[in-house]
Each structure stands twice: as C-alpha cells, then as structure tokens.
Amino acid sequence: MRTAEIRRDTAETKISLQLNLDGVGKAEIDTGVGFLNHMLILFAKHSKMDLSLCCKGDTDVDDHHTTEDIGISLGKAVAQALGEKRGIRRYASLHLPMDEALILCALDCSGRGGYYGDLPIPSQKIGAFDTELVSEFMTAFACNAGITLHLRKVCGVNSHHIVEGAFKALAQALRQAVAIDEQYKDEIPSTKGVL
C-alpha cells in the first residue's frame, strides 16, 4: 500500500493528513478555508487518491500559513507514499480545459522539487481567498513532494476557472505520473538507479 500519514504542529497550524495514492478519490477535508477545501476535494477526486485532512490554522490572521503548510504537508505525504518510486511512470503532461480556461500541466517525479508557473489570475480574490496563495501552495507542494511542476495558463479570463483548472490538471497529471507501469514495475525510472 502506497500510503502516508503526516502530522505538522507549529505555532501557526496544526495539520493531520492521511493519503492513499491507490485510492478511489475519497476526500474528507476541513482546512478552515472554504475555497481551499473545494480545491482539495476536487484534487482527490481527479487524482483518485484518498485524502483525509484536518487543519486548525491562524485564519484570523489570514489564509497564508494554512495554505502554505497544507502544501508542505501534502507534498511530504506524496513523497513518503512514493518511497523509492520503483515502477512509477514518473512523467506526465496534459492540457486541461475548464470552460474558457485551458491549463497546461507537466510534471516529473524527479526528486528535485520545484514549481515553475506562468498562471496569471485576473482577480486578487476568489471569494475571501487571496489568489496569490495558489503559487504559495504549488511551490510548497512541489518542493516537498520532490516534483518538478510546470503549470501554464494557455487562455482563460475567469479566476475561479483558472485556479480550478490548475488543481484538476495537477491531479490528473500526478495520477498518471505515479501510476505503476506494469512492464517496468521492478525498476527505478532513472539511469542513476535512484530518484
């Protein structure tokens, strides 16, 4: 079973997270941030990963610490669940349409984490959520998962559609990249022999 359990307890957030890479897309999410709940529920659904997450954060200040720390925790969970990455496909890329928005996602489970985004979002807020936090989440997630992550907005004008498209594209690409390639299930997908 490719699973992970993460607990993160700081002065700013208290996070409990369980992840199953080989799930069915079940989600139990309570971040204290409505829009982030929505994004993580659809992330679980479209990645087919089971995700249970509870966060008590200092949202009386703002949503920054909660969003970033959840990105850190989810990234660590993915890395932990992947282990040595034996047999995974490793790479994935796709274009995902979300109504008028079109998002490109390409990723590599390389072990070298980094987020390289070109995802301009027209509005500063979606409801109460600061849209600049999307980049904070993706950076924290990619760096802690050890994933090279590229997200690009090809087109789009609706901020909600752009961000939702980005989370769905990440979920779909990650689902493909972490899938076991039966033909090479006993191999590490690298000439170095380690990822």
When mean pLDDT is compared across 69-73, 163-167, 171-175, 188-192, the lowest value belongs to 188-192
β-pair partners for 16: 7, 54
What is the predicted pLDDT for the residue at 42?
Answer: 98
Classify residue 88 by its DSSP letter.
Answer: B
Q: Percentage of residues in the chain with pLDDT exceeding 90?
A: 96
148-163 pLDDT, tens digit per residue, is 999 999 999 999 999 9
For 180, other C-beta atoms within 10 Å of its C-beta total: 14
Of 194, 112, 99, 93, whose CA–CA distance to 152 is shortest?
Answer: 93
- Kindly tell me if the per-residue pLDDT of 130 is higher than 90: yes
β-pair partners for 103: 96, 153
Cα(26)–Cα(155) distance, integer angstroms: 30
Continuous H helices in the chain: 34-47, 64-82, 133-145, 159-178
> Going by C-beta distance under 8 Å and a sequence separation of 6 or more, which residues neighbour residue 193?
none
Of 88, 93, 91, whose CA–CA distance to 184 is shortest?
Answer: 88
Topology at the third CATH level for domain 3-184: Ribosomal Protein S5; domain 2 (3.30.230)
For 62, other C-beta atoms within 10 Å of its C-beta total: 14
90-119 pLDDT, tens digit per residue, is 999 999 999 999 999 999 999 999 999 999
9-19 pLDDT, tens digit per residue, is 999 999 999 99
* pLDDT average, residue stretch 42-55: 98
What is the predicted pLDDT for the residue at 145?
Answer: 98
CA distance to 32, 40, 80, per residue, from 172 (Å): 25, 13, 19
pLDDT level of residue 127 (50, 70, 90 thresholds): very high
For the chain, the C-alpha Rg in angstroms (whole number) is 16
- Kindly tell me if the per-residue pLDDT of 193 is higher than 90: no
CB distance 83 to 140 below 8 Å? no
Q: Where are the domains of the chain?
A: 3-184
Cα(150)–Cα(109) distance, integer angstroms: 12
pLDDT level of residue 41 (50, 70, 90 thresholds): very high
pLDDT level of residue 25 (50, 70, 90 thresholds): very high
